[in-house]
Homo-oligomer: A and B are copies of this chain.
Amino acid sequence: MTALLTAEDLPALARGAALLGTGGGGDPYLGRLLAQRALREHGPVPLVDPADLPDDAAVFVVAQMGAPTVSVEKLPAYDEIGRAVTALAAHLGVTPTHVACIEAGGINSTIPVAGAAMLGLPLVDGDGMGRAFPELQMVLPGVAGVPATPMSITDEQGNTGILGCPTAKWAEDLARCMTITMGCTAIISNYPMTGARARETMIRGTLGLCVRIGRAIAGARAGFTDPVAAAATVVGGRVVHTGKVVDVERRTTTGFARGTATLSGGCVLRFQNEHLIAEVDGTTVVTTPDLIMVLDTATGEPVTTEALRFGHRVSVLAAPADPRWHTPEAIAVVGPRYFGYDTDPVRVHDTVTDGAPV
């Protein structure tokens, strides 16, 4: 079945993507504006289920790389989004047939909408993570063996780079330093895939899920029911804490927004672009790769790590990651130890039932 993504879907899509972004993925409002302009200029974008991709489809990812703290001030150039895809396609000598999201999260769920619209291509209704992660080797197609490169990287100054690297971590390191030199944000296209590989390795239905999340939150708000509970139902998650932000420590280093947030009632969140660890009363209740999502308790609006402010009343919602993230190979790439936290992964459904730690 082919659905059409229209400008009317964008507010719900952006809100749902911001939630799955687990605190990262950049300001959803900015990406929504870019997607809105592209849909207005080029019309609705067909959504294609990964399961319906032909074997020989040429699937091109497009994403923003960089520190969300910076992307709030330094917007991507509109043209740059299409240029990342066309530069990689020209390098490969391949004509793109589909655009895809590499992560579910904020700006990286809406920039591909803009890219698909301006290139006149359908958008894959899926992504490479089912959430957001901060580094480019942290994608399920990569864990399954799809090379990160050749990849392209572009900026609003007109710089274009094509990288070929022996490992995805080298691609991350080189693209990260280029992103920093470009001013801490860039547009990239990586993990070029055939339809067959995309079908095997991508997560299905992410964009549709984002729209459902966004609509559930808006619907609950309109009906005076609990928007956080509505979101929890759609993502299959649990509320692990509700409290007021009493402290935020945040620094932008080596291209990332790193820090911790402390909530009243004894909850500490640790983040690196995305929320990676949630502790309640000194106990780790959930860690990466499971999803840790922060919402405004009253409105259900997702709160990004760079928007966390003293006094904000928030709810912390945790949901299981795609099971493929819990294999040993995947945990080596996105588990807590990779990020420097001395703990084994903690899965939300092992510790939390009906909103309370076991």
Contact = CB atoms under 8 A, between A and B. Distances in A.
B160 A163 contact: yes
B166 A177 contact: no
Interface string A168-201: 0010011011101110000000000000000000
Contacts of A166: 157-159
5 contacts: A160-B164, A160-B165, A161-B161, A161-B174, A177-B178
A346 interface: no
A164 B174 contact: no
A158 B162 contact: no
Q: How large is the interface on A (under 10, 10 to 19, 20 to 34, 35 or more residues)?
A: 20 to 34
A174 B165 contact: no
A161 B159 contact: no
Contact of A177 (B162, B164, B170, B181): B181
B159 A165 contact: yes
Interface in A121-177: 157-166, 170, 173-174, 176-177
A91 interface: yes
A21 to B, nearest CB: 27
A174 B170 contact: no
B174 A178 contact: yes
Contacts of A165: 158-160
Contacts of A181: 173-174, 176-177
A174 B162 contact: no
A161 B158 contact: no
Contacts of A180: 177
Contacts of A163: 159-162
A156 to B, nearest CB: 11
